[in-house]
Amino acid sequence: MKQERKIPLKDYIAGGAIANAITWIVLGIGSSAVPPDFFIATYLVGSILGGFLVGRKIRQEFVKTGLLTGIFSFVVHVYVFLGVFWLLSIPAPPLEWHAIIFSVLLLGSCLGALLSKLIILEKHEAQSSSE
């Protein structure tokens, strides 16, 4: 029987922070010259990276891992992004914007976790064929 190990919450939170990090860097450099579609692309790339790294570490239940990483990515996004907007007294973007970001973070994290599964399986097949 396969033994399930307890997955620490900090792994998902770290994946969520990584998923948002690229967008934070772009915002820090200067957001006035960047079109809004580019922010969606940065969220997608970051969430794929976050889902991949968490999936590579956990190595089990990759779809569940991707979904949880995506949810925690959105939680980190809301906590930091809206907190900064509130502190700086800037009007927050509309709710539709956050719905798009939520779907992009979920999709990207799932894709990243499944990508880690493919790489792990390829590595395992290469090791077993060389023996």
User: Above 80 in pLDDT, residue 126?
Assistant: no
The per-residue pLDDT for range 70-95, each reduced to its tens digit, is: 999 999 998 887 787 778 777 777 88
Q: Give the pTM.
A: 0.85
Residue 21 CB-half CA count within 13 A: 11
Q: Which residue has the higher pLDDT, 128 or 48?
A: 48
pLDDT score of 52? 94
- Residue 86: the pLDDT is 78
pLDDT band per the 50, 70, 90 thresholds, residue 125: confident
Q: What is the pLDDT of residue 1?
A: 44
Q: What is the mean pLDDT of residues 57-68?
A: 88
Query: How much of the chain exceeds pLDDT 70, in percent?
Result: 94
Report, in angstroms and rounded to the nearest whole number, the Rg of the chain calculated over CA atoms: 17
Tell me the residue type at 1: M
Q: 47 exposed, middle or buried (CB, 10 Å; 0-12, 13-18, 19+)?
A: buried
Burial of residue 1, with CB atoms counted within 10 A of its CB: 0-12 exposed, 13-18 middle, 19 or more buried: exposed
